[in-house]
Amino acid sequence: MKFDIKGNPSYGEVDVELGPAEVILIEPGAMSRMSSNMSSSFQRQGGFFSAMFRKMFGGENFFLGKYEHPDGGTLTFAPSIPGAVEHYNLSNNHLNIMAGSFLACTPGVNIKAKFGGLKALFSGEGAFLLEASGNGDLFFNSFGGIIEKEINGEFIVDTGHVVAFEPTLNYKISGMGNWKSTMLSGEGLVMTFNGTGKIYLQTRTVDGIASWLTPRLI
């Protein structure tokens, strides 16, 4: 499979060239165009309960669109919201993705929802996150641009801006400084990461744009 990510950071989309019998699994609705020979079906990701769990708590769909053809073909997919698309190569490692950020993967990748613990309730990302594992290509998306950061030590991120992070990183929820600066800086709670690994951040949040837009709607 060959792929080309275009249009980042505003309108990321991915062109894919599938070889004979190669398969790509895409979030429902995200296919925007494809060669006319391609066939589509749907596939449950993982077991029934795992898929149900992912739908209920992971902000994702029970089924994924499955695209393939015996002779191969081309296909383009894009997320529902404007923003960047990022690729991550999994080879027997894990990546934690925030609920709703999953876009597509190759069949060797497993996606399951997992409870992030009580601290996740305050992360601004929902209490559950998605854990990608296995081998293959993974695509996820953000609202706004994606910043990739290699962390070694401590790193602070505003809640709502984390898209994905490697599980070698740990985080805790805290305020910025004392309670007064926490309340008045407009930052509220932050996530303090610790360890060594990669983190992906988004420059905007959908919740942010929705609350900015709300008082302006007539």
Partner 1 sequence: MNIKIDTEGAFGSAIVVLEPGEKFVSEAGAMYRASPNVDIEVVSRKKEGQGFFGGIAAGLRAMMAGETYHLSSYQVGGGTGEVGLAPTHQGEVRKVEVGSETWICSGGSYLGSSGGIDLDTQYQGLVKGMFSKEGLVFVKASGQGELLVNGFGRISEVTIGNGITIDNGHLIAFTEGLEYEISKAGGGWISSMMSGEGLVMKFRGQGKILVQSHDPSRLGGVLGPLLPPRKG
Binding site for partner 1 (CB under 8 A): 6-7, 10-13, 27-36, 38-42, 61, 63-66, 76, 78-82, 206-207, 209-211, 213-214, 217
C-beta separation of 146 from 9 below 8 A:
yes
- State in angstroms the smallest separation of the CB of 11 from partner 1: 4
The residue among 79 and 136 lying less far from partner 1, judged by its C-beta, is 79
CB of 152: closest distance to partner 1 in angstroms?
A: 34
Q: How far is the CB of 94 from partner 1 (least distance, A)?
A: 26
99 contacts 57 by C-beta, under 8 angstroms: yes
Question: C-beta of 21: minimal distance to partner 1 in Å?
Answer: 16
Amino acid at 67: Y
- Closer CB to partner 1, 196 or 211, in the complex: 211
Question: Of the two residues 13 and 158, which places its CB atom closer to partner 1 in the complex?
Answer: 13
Tokens 């996530």 locate to 191
User: Smaller CB distance to partner 1: residue 25 or 132?
Assistant: 25
Q: Measuring CA to CA, which residue among 61, 110, 95 is closest to residue 86?
A: 95
Quote the least distance from Cβ 31 to partner 1, whole Å: 6
Q: How far is the CB of 205 from partner 1 (least distance, A)?
A: 10
- With respect to partner 1, which residue has the nearer C-beta, 11 or 122? 11
C-alpha separations of 171 from 11, 47, 63, 179, 197 in Å? 30, 29, 31, 19, 12
C-alpha span between 21 and 37 (Å, rounded): 12
- Element holding 101 (H helix, E strand): none
CB 96 within 8 A of CB 138: no
**Among candidate residues 95, 80, 70, the one with its CA nearest the CA of residue 167:** 95
The Cα–Cα gap between 122 and 131 comes to 19
Q: Of 161 and 193, which has the nearer Cβ to partner 1?
A: 161
